[in-house]
Amino acid sequence: MKTAIGTVALYTKVLAGLLLLTLMTFLQPSWFHLTPGKTAGVQLLIAFMKVALVVAYYMHLRSEIGYLKGYVVMALVILMIFFLIVGIDVAHS
């Protein structure tokens, strides 16, 4: 069982990581002058890292049992399928 001090230290590190990634989100366009498409890709990558931290630690998915993680993955796959369908529809219209 984790102690309260260990948990506070862990959440403090996660918060520091989220704040650092947020700072990178704002500073990345001025540090690296990329094309708009590449800048969007880098911004999405940073956003994915932030989402992963929030889901793993603040939503406690890291310590959940396997089938619940499977449900989350299944929901994300279904969401990606919908995005793909909409993207194909927009590209052909």
Interval 36-58: pLDDT, tens: 989 999 999 999 999 999 988 88
Structural contact between residues 86 and 93, judged by C-beta atoms closer than 8 angstroms: no
Structure tokens given for 75: 């929901």
Spans of the chain below 50 pLDDT: none
Evaluate if pTM is beyond 0.85.
Answer: no
Structural contact between residues 61 and 68, judged by C-beta atoms closer than 8 angstroms: yes
Structure tokens given for 1: 């069982």
